[in-house]
Structure 1
């Protein structure tokens, strides 16, 4: 068992960025509720295709700098050499300008192709051209947030995320009210610009000075960063291309309405339930990078990370599965209750992805990007086949099953690679907790299907209380952490 200090650091960072994610959830509830009421499932489907296209192009044009830069900036910042840190930040900013321009041009050039492939016509070409500005702004914003992460300005990063979400809400809503579906593209553009301005404000507070560097010097110095970044970019690009193909396939063969239902399910799983993955990943990668040559410490890190993630996820799994029809009605409308059949299976995938991500990131920390990229490519090809085949035969439920299978395959593959290459594997405690969480998810679904209301809510409440007690017991006894006292201390710090 790793030292309890490690667990406390994980919980501390998870609490900070968990709060950010909760705020983002509240904002998205407002946006999704308005979109669902004003634009319906079709509007959500269009937003899904636009957002997927933006993510795909910005991932390809960004060259992975927003990910690889964190390692270089963190190393320079940790050295205590202000000149070295300033130089690193300076050439990162210059590379970001280049990738912004590349993203803008790519989006404009690809706009006819994206419109035709996504919607089956060229009616949305102008919208995609307009979204090129959103692509450039998003790339720049990701780069600035990499600077905040690398210099360990986590509170500034959290504030920028909260303000960005808040401003984005107030900018997007008027467009939907005034122009309906025609206001979707402009709302995405202005929201991206507003978020960028806020990030610029916080990055200016980072103590560093600007340095004059020639174009040649910038590219020579940044070559290792770009090399690593391209490997990460290819992985992210594969994921975005997979998402784009799946979304386009659903749009063309199932319609924008079905795509809207699918998108709402992704939002709940990826944004709302993904609070744990997002919050924990911010702290995890720098920590394992610092000990990337010590396999024993890495083994402890991956197991502690997975255990904390599973224990935090358990009560949420019970809550989301049991109350998914109520959540869908509240977040969207009663028409979206059908999405619960996707959530029932996709949430199982999220459980195993918590662990598989912890294992897979070790390959990046060890700079074994080729091995990581090759294995991820094979997984994504299999996942794409699962999505298309299972959607044809099982509809929304099939998409949820495909998500679960993708997480399970990823878990098995990464665990095999790490055990084979570095003798790093999950201990029995982690494996047991995976089965416990999956069992609770299954029982929660069975409880939700009980016909008698009083019995349904009685059983559901018992499952929720039991899951909370289980998590609190292991956090307190096994990890020697009083989570209630820790949360009180963190709340006092942030008030």
Structure 2
């Protein structure tokens, strides 16, 4: 029996989601440029810390429904009428729980908003606009519920269409708000983006995702949704701790260095997670639900993870090298000369993306298997390392310490994740995957060593050579894999 090749499937889903996320990144680039012009480093820093706070609160009150609901929907067998009825009931339960979490988030935000506002915003800013963000939680919770259901059902085209429309609207709203309202526009843009996002996804899915009463009582909604929520709470704790980790780092930078340094950190975070992290976002849209479907077939399950790891490295390694060549010009183009200190962070942090690419696919194994404790431990370890190393390394090495912490976090996560999944599920990489992993790490090490002799710029001949070779190699290998 011929072994199934997943590269073609991965390529198709990556291509589809990649198109929408390229639009998303493009609109984000324009938005950040406008923010840099009209709000400056202080405004960029405030945007980062406000978004961080919202992520923490949403992670706290959402019970991990955005992830656990994907798993529940993906595991259903749609070939039977019983499963279709179960899906209808499950959708209603997810929706009601999401609505409750949205109102809970709004209440929590109102309670802490004044103290946060006074410690973050300049004195001439409007608290009234800031506290109105409370409504964001209600609309974003309902938006997330519908998007999670679409992801679980693997309705890729519908998700892509929605993401493209929302990205464009979000950009236009943010630009208008920053231009007309300055720092107050940050809160206004967040609120109206959440409202519009919900309206777009609602009218796009009202015929396919119907929230029916199904004669459900509150007791039934609670009891039948509780297993999903129990898994979700572990996931939400992981997300919450992750956001708390970055929040602690941001507070440390603000107090130990300056609000401008916070802006520089936000730019590095945007480049590493918002722009380059597009690969992980794109792949996770289809990788996670597909992995859930393959969970009971161990050989196919492991083959899919191996193929995903190879595919991701073929994309990420050349992209990291390209960023080493163009980052100085890109930072000036996207922001301004005042943000060039971000290069101190990126010099080492970019290597961390290679480690993340290897650690990322195997990090899903414990989640798919329903091992909540192991998944939580994996994420907790990386967050602890991130906070401790960021604070200690920044204290001794300045901004470049943040890059060191980022790389070390994913290197340790890689070894720990592999050790745990190998021990608990007897997972192993194929010989080919091991070879590609070792080659990728060697290339990353050579690139980093080249800065002992050459600058971080497009004039680095070592990086140019590595970029050309890895690009050709990746294109040839992917072409052969996809066509086989």
TM-score range for the pair, normalised by the shorter chain length: over 0.9
**What is residue 346 of structure 1 aligned with on the other side?**
349
Contact 1:86 1:211 in 2 (8 A): no
Which one is further off, 201-210 or 139-148? Answer: 201-210
State how 1:122-201 maps to structure 2 within 5 Å.
126=128, 128-201=130-203
CA shift, 1:280, in A, is 0.9
CA shift, 1:3, in A, is 4.1
Which one is further off, 111-120 or 220-229? Answer: 111-120
CA shift, 1:442, in A, is 4.9
**What is residue 324 of structure 1 aligned with on the other side?**
327
CA shift, 1:302, in A, is 1.9
Change in Cα spacing, 1:314 to 1:452, as seen in structure 2 (3 Å) is closer
CA shift, 1:69, in A, is 0.7
CA distance in 2, matches of 1:78, 1:168: 34
**What is residue 241 of structure 2 aligned with on the other side?**
238
CA distance in 2, matches of 1:451, 1:393: 23
Change in Cα spacing, 1:466 to 1:230, as seen in structure 2 (3 Å) is same
1:368 and 2:371 matched: yes
What TM-score do the two structures reach when normalised by structure 2?
A: 0.92
CA distance in 1, matches of 2:209, 2:137: 28
CA shift, 1:293, in A, is 3.5
**What is residue 11 of structure 2 aligned with on the other side?**
11
1:399 and 2:402 matched: yes
Q: Deviations over 1:367-418 (max 9, x none)?
A: 0011221332233223211111111112221111101111011111110011
Change in Cα spacing, 1:292 to 1:394, as seen in structure 2 (3 Å) is same
Q: Any unmatched runs of 5+ in structure 1?
A: 483-495
1:434 and 2:437 matched: yes
**What is residue 88 of structure 1 aligned with on the other side?**
90
Q: Deviations over 1:112-162 (max 9, x none)?
A: 443466579997865542221223322222111001112221111111111
CA distance in 2, matches of 1:422, 1:374: 16
Change in Cα spacing, 1:128 to 1:57, as seen in structure 2 (3 Å) is farther
**What is residue 305 of structure 1 aligned with on the other side?**
308
CA shift, 1:271, in A, is 1.4
Change in Cα spacing, 1:76 to 1:289, as seen in structure 2 (3 Å) is closer
CA distance in 2, matches of 1:378, 1:122: 41
Change in Cα spacing, 1:451 to 1:267, as seen in structure 2 (3 Å) is closer
Q: Deviations over 1:243-262 (max 9, x none)?
A: 11111111122211111111
Change in Cα spacing, 1:448 to 1:181, as seen in structure 2 (3 Å) is farther
**What is residue 383 of structure 2 aligned with on the other side?**
380
Change in Cα spacing, 1:122 to 1:73, as seen in structure 2 (3 Å) is farther
1:78 and 2:78 matched: yes
**What is residue 464 of structure 1 aligned with on the other side?**
467
Contact 1:86 1:210 in 2 (8 A): yes
Change in Cα spacing, 1:207 to 1:259, as seen in structure 2 (3 Å) is closer
CA shift, 1:277, in A, is 0.7
State how 1:211-250 maps to structure 2 within 5 Å.
211-212=213-214, 213-250=216-253
CA distance in 2, matches of 1:365, 1:472: 31
Q: Calculate the aligned-residue CA RMSD, in Å.
A: 2.6
Contact 1:91 1:218 in 2 (8 A): yes
Q: Deviations over 1:265-324 (max 9, x none)?
A: 111110111121111111111222123234333322221111110011122111111111
Change in Cα spacing, 1:121 to 1:172, as seen in structure 2 (3 Å) is closer
Change in Cα spacing, 1:266 to 1:124, as seen in structure 2 (3 Å) is farther
Change in Cα spacing, 1:25 to 1:76, as seen in structure 2 (3 Å) is same
Contact 2:125 2:183 in 1 (8 A): no
CA distance in 1, matches of 2:126, 2:431: 52
Which one is further off, 374-383 or 433-442? Answer: 433-442
Change in Cα spacing, 1:390 to 1:209, as seen in structure 2 (3 Å) is closer
**What is residue 41 of structure 1 aligned with on the other side?**
41
Change in Cα spacing, 1:452 to 1:365, as seen in structure 2 (3 Å) is closer
CA distance in 1, matches of 2:125, 2:389: 31
**What is residue 59 of structure 1 aligned with on the other side?**
59
CA distance in 1, matches of 2:201, 2:292: 25
Change in Cα spacing, 1:253 to 1:127, as seen in structure 2 (3 Å) is farther
Contact 2:325 2:456 in 1 (8 A): no
**What is residue 486 of structure 1 aligned with on the other side?**
none
What TM-score do the two structures reach when normalised by structure 1?
A: 0.90
CA distance in 1, matches of 2:221, 2:52: 31
CA distance in 2, matches of 1:244, 1:120: 19
**What is residue 355 of structure 1 aligned with on the other side?**
358
